[in-house]
Structure 1
Amino acid sequence: MQPATSTQLVSVTMLRGLASLAVCWMHFTGTVPRTILAETGRYGGFGVHVFFVISGFIIPYSLYHSNYKLHNYFKFLLKRILRLDPPYLASILLIFILAAVAKLSPYYSGSSHQFLSINTVYHLFYVADIFDGKWYNTVFWTLAIEFQFYLFIGLFFPIITNKNQFIKIICIAILVPLPFLLTDKDFIFRYMLLFLPGLLLFLYMTKQLNRQWYIISSFIVFYLNYFISDWGGVIACILAVAFILFVEKPVRPLLFLGAISYSLYLIHLPFGADAFINFLQNYITGVNGRILLIFIALPVTIFGAWLFYKFIEQPSIRLSKKIRY
């Protein structure tokens, strides 16, 4: 096995696009319950599992190839904040704007959010769940877990990449049982088995873990994942790893979706599901019409995500790249 190459990075980008699309499709088809279409989105939530696997792989991969050291920890966190927070905060602002517009409609029945509130402060620090707040967007809880992973991996990375193979195995052995010992769903430990497949793949593909130990440790992680996320989660993790390993040919539509995946993930609920589908459903009574509405909403939302990416996310990407270790 050769070290990770641009081929793997292409596969990660495409996989990210598929995962974001799956989550989007789940929420869109959820607007027409008890239909065949709703069944097609039933397993879209496992896209979150795929995102965690991707982060488990790509974050340490990036640290490895940027010669990251522990003294770069706060630079690393700043880099992630500059990369992810501007779009995240912009999506929160979008939620308030759309809610204000929606209140003008006679059909509006949603709950109002107070912009200047302690709950907004919780959002700024990704701690709404921890302090019993309420996420303005239900997918935000996954961003909180991701941010905790950044806090964790920045500290843990120098240990997991230690040249001593025995130390690596001990570290992995310590991480594996954490979901069963620390079960609070508000913290990363509960989801460690979803990040580990990606982390193990990173170690293997950078030749820091030999094939024998990789197969053994991966088998254990996949097996134990069943008790955390059932077979659906296990299959999602296995497919994610296989996709990164074996998919080599770039597919342009998937590369496009991968590029805008974060923007799509952020806005598909407030813009696509709430502002577009749920609002227009007030004027459509038939099931067939509502199903057609979903197929219209998808390209509209993807276009909106592209605009969001171009004008909000891309500048934050450029800004984060100015931070070097």
Structure 2
Amino acid sequence: MSTKQPDTKLLSIDILRGIAALAVCFFHLTGSTGLSKNTVALGKYGFLGVEVFFVISGFIIPYSMYKAKYQFSLFGRFLAKRLLRIHPPYLATLLMTILLIYLVRRPYMPSWPSMISHVFYLDQLFHYESISPVFWTLVIEIQFYIFIGLCFFIINNKSTALFVGFIQILLLIFYLNNWGNLFGWIGLFVLGMILFRFKYLQLPKFVFWTLIFQCALLIGYKIGIAESIAGILAVLYINYISIRSNDKAWVKPLLFLGTISYSLYLIHWELGRTVVAIVRHIPVLGGFELFRVLIGVLSSILLAFIGYRLIEKPAIQLSKTIPLKTK
């Protein structure tokens, strides 16, 4: 009996996505209230998982559009498909976060306009503080979906000169932009877009590395050296690492993390940190900070798996009902 072979490129990216989500989770949980500076220092670079997410999106979204032979006439379908994929888990997490704020920190309840703006990813536009520190990246992602849906025809164009000119314009906007919107982070997405163009469309190797180097320098200047290094490492990983089988023992747990990475990213802030705070009261063991963090991470993974099965997986199936491929 023959089975369909998994896409080795997607296996590699799923693993990278899982590692990035785990890094962000560890970063936030080691920074939980009541933990020492030494424990905080252990996870201080975990925030770079967000930068890796942005590079992955810059690569994988154009890749999926390319495979589907996306055309501008499919823009509405494309957005609907992406929203159905990410919105139900986000909405469930938003409601859970608001409920926890009401039960635990009632004086700090967000206003109704703030909550409504969050539902539609408009909180940045109206300058409302993010209800959860993990939500801001979803606003950036939604902006990227709109952007890439409108501009994919340039990325997909046969003209190398047009593509390079487009990248230069994006990097100029990135250099001039000081706002917390997509264009304040576009350099990381551009890394992924350049890599996509190099691997699947015409882009000379010299041009590829020149653009990557230019982009890395600008990210280092605008955002930070660590962020630039994280972006370059993500590019190198996607370009050179290929997982050829999902049957190996060491691959399966990493793929599992990749599968639940979105739910893990959403859930860990409120629920994971709550577990860390509760475990503190366990006799003897609760005094060990790393034990508290470990239980918080494992609990976050478990809760993310439950969230994936109950909410995210049905959302994925629902998004698949919207065909993107052209006949």
Q: TM-score, normalised by structure 1?
A: 0.90
The range that moved more, 32-41 or 204-213, is: 32-41
2:285–2:291 contact (8 Å) kept in structure 1: no
- Partner residue in 2 for 1:237: 231
- Partner residue in 2 for 1:201: 195
- Partner residue in 2 for 1:81: 83
1:179–1:190 contact (8 Å) kept in structure 2: yes
Gaps spanning 5+ residues in structure 2: where? Answer: 1-5
- Partner residue in 1 for 2:179: 184
- Partner residue in 2 for 1:113: 109
2:280–2:287 contact (8 Å) kept in structure 1: no
2:280–2:286 contact (8 Å) kept in structure 1: no
1:14–1:257 contact (8 Å) kept in structure 2: yes
**Cα deviation per residue 1:23-51 (whole Å; 9 max; x = unaligned)?**
00001001254443321200011111000
1:56–1:197 contact (8 Å) kept in structure 2: yes
Inter-CA distance 190–285: structure 2 relative to 1 (3 Å threshold): farther
Offset of residue 54 of structure 1: 0.3
Q: How does 1:34-49 map to 2 (within 5 A)?
A: 34-49=36-51
Letter in 2 for 1:268: H
Inter-CA distance 320–167: structure 2 relative to 1 (3 Å threshold): same
Pairing partner for 1:148 from 129, 133, 143: 143
Aligned with 1:36: secondary structure?
A: helix
Tell whether 2:157 aligns with 1:162. Answer: yes
1:12–1:54 contact (8 Å) kept in structure 2: yes
Pairing partner for 1:218 from 212, 215, 228: 212
The range that moved more, 118-127 or 55-64, is: 118-127
Offset of residue 314 of structure 1: 0.2
- Partner residue in 1 for 2:302: 303
- Partner residue in 1 for 2:267: 267
Question: Quick one: distance in 2 between partners of 1:254 and 1:193?
Answer: 27
Q: How does 1:1-20 map to 2 (within 5 A)?
A: 6-20=7-21
Letter in 1 for 2:129: K
Percent identical among aligned pairs is: 38
Q: How does 1:88-107 map to 2 (within 5 A)?
A: 88-100=90-102, 103=103
Inter-CA distance 190–284: structure 2 relative to 1 (3 Å threshold): farther
Aligned residue pairs total 312
Question: Quick one: distance in 1 between partners of 2:275 and 2:30?
Answer: 13
Question: Quick one: distance in 2 between partners of 1:254 and 1:78?
Answer: 29
- Partner residue in 1 for 2:57: 55
Question: Quick one: distance in 1 between partners of 2:105 and 2:133?
Answer: 18
Aligned with 2:130: secondary structure?
A: coil
Q: Tell me the C-alpha RMSD between the 2 structures.
A: 2.0
Inter-CA distance 286–123: structure 2 relative to 1 (3 Å threshold): same
Offset of residue 246 of structure 1: 2.0
Question: Quick one: distance in 1 between partners of 2:155 and 2:98?
Answer: 42
Question: Quick one: distance in 2 between partners of 1:284 and 1:219?
Answer: 53
Gaps spanning 5+ residues in structure 1: where? Answer: none
2:35–2:289 contact (8 Å) kept in structure 1: no
Question: Quick one: distance in 1 between partners of 2:225 and 2:307?
Answer: 35
Inter-CA distance 196–111: structure 2 relative to 1 (3 Å threshold): farther
Offset of residue 280 of structure 1: 4.3
Offset of residue 134 of structure 1: 2.3
1:161–1:208 contact (8 Å) kept in structure 2: no
Tell whether 2:255 aligns with 1:255. Answer: yes
Offset of residue 188 of structure 1: 0.8
Offset of residue 297 of structure 1: 1.5
Offset of residue 122 of structure 1: 0.8
Aligned with 2:224: secondary structure?
A: helix
**Cα deviation per residue 1:62-82 (whole Å; 9 max; x = unaligned)?**
000001000111110000110
Question: Quick one: distance in 1 between partners of 2:106 and 2:30?
Answer: 20
**Cα deviation per residue 1:280-313 (whole Å; 9 max; x = unaligned)?**
4467799843432111121111010000001100
**Cα deviation per residue 1:181-211 (whole Å; 9 max; x = unaligned)?**
22211x1111111111100000011033121
Aligned with 1:258: secondary structure?
A: helix
Question: Quick one: distance in 1 between partners of 2:166 and 2:35?
Answer: 44
Question: Quick one: distance in 2 between partners of 1:61 and 1:109?
Answer: 43
